[in-house]
């Protein structure tokens, strides 16, 4: 799948101007470099990813909304589960390199968490949220400690700086509001509860985790547990 396919279609259909389309295409190599960097720093493959040619907004109240820059989305494909990373066009167009890489790394942690749950059959009664801002609890309590996953010090610094407690980058948000939302460019509105996916038990049972990834996940759990103990002492 061409990760820019939906962007090209939106441009062809007149939803994105030539200027915005060119900007996304020109800056897409930053995303590719980020994915390569994550694969190198973790020793694992990044899942399927694509660029969504819209801003994704979550509405908490009538006037209050949050911008989602990327989401990890579990998709039922036939009788098994696939995990796809959705990267939004405004992030590609206006994000700094460090921010883009930190968000990709953070989504990769969500992907690993989903795979860990599938391998442990822990998804059956659980609801999965593909949401970046799914509450501080689930982000920090459930996700693998980035230090257990990545051996790239600069990348780790970006992640801890951008995600102390949920993601915040005010400059990027301001840019997206002015250059995307206020110009009425494509937007997807979701409420946080629509962002929760229930996966049928038979689909989870049919989903086979790559044995290499499964053994890597076991190693990560041991590493993460050691880091937690260290923290406690």
Query: Percentages helix, strand, coil for the chain, rounded to the nearest 5?
Result: 55, 15, 30
Compute φ and ψ for 70, nearest 5 degrees. -160, 155
Cβ proximity of 210 and 81 under 8 Å: no
| Domain that includes residue 123, residue range | 5-232
What pLDDT is recorded for position 136? 33
Helix (H) or strand (E) holding 80: strand 80-88
Percentage of the chain lying above the pLDDT 90 cut: 48
pTM (two decimals): 0.86
Neighbouring C-beta atoms of residue 25, cutoff 10 Å? 16
Which position has the token pair 């389309």? 21
In the chain, the number of structural domains is: 1
Compute φ and ψ for 173, nearest 5 degrees. -60, -45
pLDDT at residue 60 above 80? no
Beta strands across the sheet bearing 187-190: 65-68, 55-59, 187-190
**pLDDT digits over 62-81, tens only?**
566 788 899 988 888 887 78
Cβ proximity of 14 and 121 under 8 Å: no
What pLDDT is recorded for position 133? 37
pLDDT at residue 128 above 80? no
**pLDDT digits over 41-57, tens only?**
999 999 999 999 999 99
**pLDDT digits over 149-201, tens only?**
999 999 998 888 877 666 778 899 999 999 999 999 999 988 766 556 667 77
When mean pLDDT is compared across 22-36, 39-53, 197-211, 216-230, the lowest value belongs to 197-211
Q: Per the structure block, which two tokens stand in for 110?
A: 């969500």
Neighbouring C-beta atoms of residue 30, cutoff 10 Å? 18
Q: Per the structure block, which two tokens stand in for 120?
A: 């442990």
What pLDDT is recorded for position 81? 81
């Amino acid at each position: 799948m061409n990760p820019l396919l939906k962007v090209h279609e939106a441009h062809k259909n007149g939803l994105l101007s030539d200027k915005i389309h060119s900007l996304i295409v020109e800056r897409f190599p930053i995303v590719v470099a980020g994915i390569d960097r994550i694969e190198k720093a973790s020793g694992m493959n990044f899942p399927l990813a694509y660029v969504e040619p819209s801003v994704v907004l979550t509405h908490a109240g009538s006037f209050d909304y949050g911008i989602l820059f990327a989401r990890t989305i579990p998709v039922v494909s036939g009788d098994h589960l696939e995990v796809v990373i959705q990267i939004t066009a405004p992030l590609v167009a206006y994000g700094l390199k460090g921010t883009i890489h930190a968000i990709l790394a953070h989504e990769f942690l969500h992907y690993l968490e989903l795979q860990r749950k599938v391998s442990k059959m822990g998804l059956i009664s659980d609801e999965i949220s593909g949401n970046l801002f799914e509450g501080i609890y689930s982000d920090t309590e459930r996700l693998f400690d980035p230090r257990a996953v990545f051996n790239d010090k600069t990348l780790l610094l970006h992640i801890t700086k951008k995600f102390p407690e949920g993601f915040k980058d005010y400059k990027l948000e301001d840019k997206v509001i002015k250059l995307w939302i206020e110009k009425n460019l494509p937007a997807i509105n979701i409420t946080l509860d629509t962002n929760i996916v229930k996966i049928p038990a038979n689909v989870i049972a049919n989903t086979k985790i790559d044995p290499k990834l499964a053994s890597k996940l076991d190693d990560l759990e041991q590493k993460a547990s050691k880091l937690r103990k260290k923290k406690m002492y």
